[in-house]
Structure 1
């Protein structure tokens, strides 16, 4: 398996070189030359596998044998050895038509742990076997930062800097990042929103001289490994309930940066027979508007009760557009140039019909989000975080007869008590989260200014 850029101007790379490149050197995103297709018979054999075993099976189709199996196995079992559930991502039945896949049993209580615990081990492995300097640079709307820091803190040969929007993440999300005092961790709190942080990151990765000089590596979902690791729990969820008779299986995904939902799209292309892929978002509803109208156009930023989805520019949209355009890198580059020049992308005709066949989408209003949290606590004694509540609202909108929907629970509700408290519900924090409030914080507040951020990076990376 080799990997190429969506924009067609990068020589094909192997798996490890793709990991190290992160954002493609031509500004595109790396994708496999060919997506492997898993046969129905193999899917049936996979039904009996544990999460870790399934992970190894899926990755074996993508790693080019660059990583010896025993080394990969050790990384996988180490990555998930500290999850609070033996299943890693346990499936909770809410009612006859709804399951919730709990993705929040990792060390930072969010779905990002599933991919980033592994990526931390992978980067550490690459640093050792290749003698590579690993300087990780990423932006977060809340959960990625904490999970990435947790995955690499204290690891030899790795430094990590995370940008987060100042006062625009939940308090628990902020504390999970900024109470870490390891010398290889730098938190920059940027006066702006997530899109501002992400824009700086992309510009720095596109500056090949700067990227090379400071050995920058990506931890965001621009890195294909993040996408691939997330496909595992799509297969795992489907295979856990895939024997539920003749019912079709939908998956509803809270999504802001298009990474998690794109992982589901990739799983579908690999042969996983998901019925509907449902995008759940909030009032920053660029993805809903694209699915409903064919226009991808960033709008005004709105702060919501589900801040991890407060995103207007979805990084992984380019990967989906590449496949929508039948892997035509020239057309893709034209569309992306149009986005840069005109501030929007429009698809119509057959392309728009394909978009609507690929996805359903719902932008959930703030009050609706709170109402869903209250409803499911009252009716099912099941507490949802606000992002998961958006996913449940989308299930209610698009779930049909003779269908079962799996909604991804992307975070533990304790991470977003500001929203939960508005419903009148009082929750008890897990001990690791309660302890955060007694710890000192370590972060640097910077203006939304690329030059100021660069100065901080130069001092940190050395």
Structure 2
């Protein structure tokens, strides 16, 4: 399987090179040359597989240049760090299925992909005798998951930018209390979009990228999206085992990466009725789906900070398919976005979008109401991001469909919001015990490309 850029100006590369490249050298995002289509018989044959076995079957379709034994070992080691043998279990509460994605070492869905990506990087660097400086931006959860995926690993340094004082306190502590020599946290005085734009600009600086061997852990890296495809299949098998049909996945998202993994699963032949994209007040994606309005606005701080994003980087991958795999159309769209702050779509394109997606924007008051009501009805605590997905599902999923809501983080990571909603402080899992008493290390810098570039140059391998 080879990989191409959404902007069409690179030669195809293999999976290993795609992982190491991260952002394509033409500024686009990498995608497989083709998406494999699965038969009903294949799906039936996978129904009883463990999570690790299912991950191997799916990922091996795309990672064709990694020997099977090596790939299985990478997968097994990556998920040995999870505290639930199912890795991503599904529970049934108050009429909805909840896909729990928070059983990894940092208690967020990003662990599912980043434990694997960290091991992939270490494997490929050892094979090639190379070193890498990982640079990434986070709105909260990606940073800690990426750090835990590579902390202490040979031949890797990691630089993670997060918006200063705009993550939850626990999210910040999970990053800054990792003091391994190869870990560098940068708190940028700006928004997540500022952080993400700086990271993308560094990757587009090809001499800098090559000199310092930059690697990407954000969802611009195809391997992250691929790892997330697995749990859509795994959940669908669990739900349809219990008589569910006409499945709708409700996905709280700001960067379009998690729901794009569901879109790939659907393209592969997973029988999903709709994908429900749930946003908070930072609702550029909801405006796009419901109104055809993809225009940039200001970031609004909310109780679901991982979704406080306006410019969704993974959206470009979806546009490639929406534009019938025409890279020239993709390039033109992003020129238009740069010049005007918006992208325009035809009525036919928007009709196709609505065949695939539903969307609802859930505000902070509704989020807190949902946490409170759901806990009162079931005793189950939702984190605020998951509550956004649950509220959207309760309102938009039809009665004859089975809603599966992605629980993207443990409620203890957002304890202030949960306590505000319910009056109950969520119990700290062992992974967070005493984290506020650990030593920490973080550089607070202006959200300025030059300052951050200089910091990386000073500390790079």
1:429 deviates by 1.0
SS of corresponding position for 2:248: strand
Structure 1 segments of 4 or more deviating over 6 A?
A: none
Q: Which residue of 1 aligns with 2:354?
A: 356
Asked if structure 1 preserves the Cα contact closer than 8 Å seen for 2:55 and 2:230, the reply is: yes
Q: Which residue of 2 aligns with 1:51?
A: 51
SS of corresponding position for 1:276: strand
Cα distance in 1 for residues equivalent to 2:36 and 2:419: 46
Q: Which residue of 1 aligns with 2:62?
A: 62
Q: Which residue of 2 aligns with 1:11?
A: 11
Which of 202, 215, 218 in structure 2 is aligned with 1:217? 215
The equivalences for 1:101-112 within 5 A come to 101-112=99-110
The equivalences for 1:285-434 within 5 A come to 285-423=283-421, 424-434=423-433
Cα distance in 1 for residues equivalent to 2:61 and 2:335: 33
1:246 deviates by 6.5
Q: TM-score, normalized by length of structure 2?
A: 0.99
1:432 deviates by 2.2
Per-residue displacement from partner, 1:371-419 (whole Å, max 9, x unpaired)? 0000011000100000000000110111112211110000000000121
Q: Which residue of 1 aligns with 2:434?
A: 435
1:244 deviates by 4.0
The equivalences for 1:9-408 within 5 A come to 9-64=9-64, 66-95=65-94, 97-245=95-243, 247-408=245-406
Cα distance in 1 for residues equivalent to 2:300 and 2:189: 15
Cα distance in 1 for residues equivalent to 2:239 and 2:179: 42
Asked if structure 2 preserves the Cα contact closer than 8 Å seen for 1:146 and 1:173, the reply is: yes
Q: TM-score, normalized by length of structure 1?
A: 0.98
Asked if structure 1 preserves the Cα contact closer than 8 Å seen for 2:244 and 2:402, the reply is: no
Cα distance in 2 for residues equivalent to 1:24 and 1:296: 23
Per-residue displacement from partner, 1:310-364 (whole Å, max 9, x unpaired)? 0000000000011001101111111111111111002131101011111111111
Cα distance in 2 for residues equivalent to 1:245 and 1:383: 25
SS of corresponding position for 1:145: helix
RMSD between superposed Cα atoms in Å: 0.9
Per-residue displacement from partner, 1:238-286 (whole Å, max 9, x unpaired)? 0111244463111000101000000000100011011110001100000
Asked if structure 2 preserves the Cα contact closer than 8 Å seen for 1:246 and 1:402, the reply is: no
Per-residue displacement from partner, 1:182-214 (whole Å, max 9, x unpaired)? 000000000001000000000000010000000
Cα distance in 1 for residues equivalent to 2:51 and 2:279: 27
Per-residue displacement from partner, 1:23-56 (whole Å, max 9, x unpaired)? 1111110001111011111001110001000000
Cα distance in 2 for residues equivalent to 1:326 and 1:133: 37
Cα distance in 1 for residues equivalent to 2:275 and 2:318: 13
Q: Which residue of 2 aligns with 1:458?
A: 457
Structure 2: which 5+ residue stretches go unaligned?
Answer: none
Structure 1: which 5+ residue stretches go unaligned?
Answer: none
Asked if structure 1 preserves the Cα contact closer than 8 Å seen for 2:385 and 2:408, the reply is: yes
1:21 deviates by 0.8
1:427 deviates by 2.1
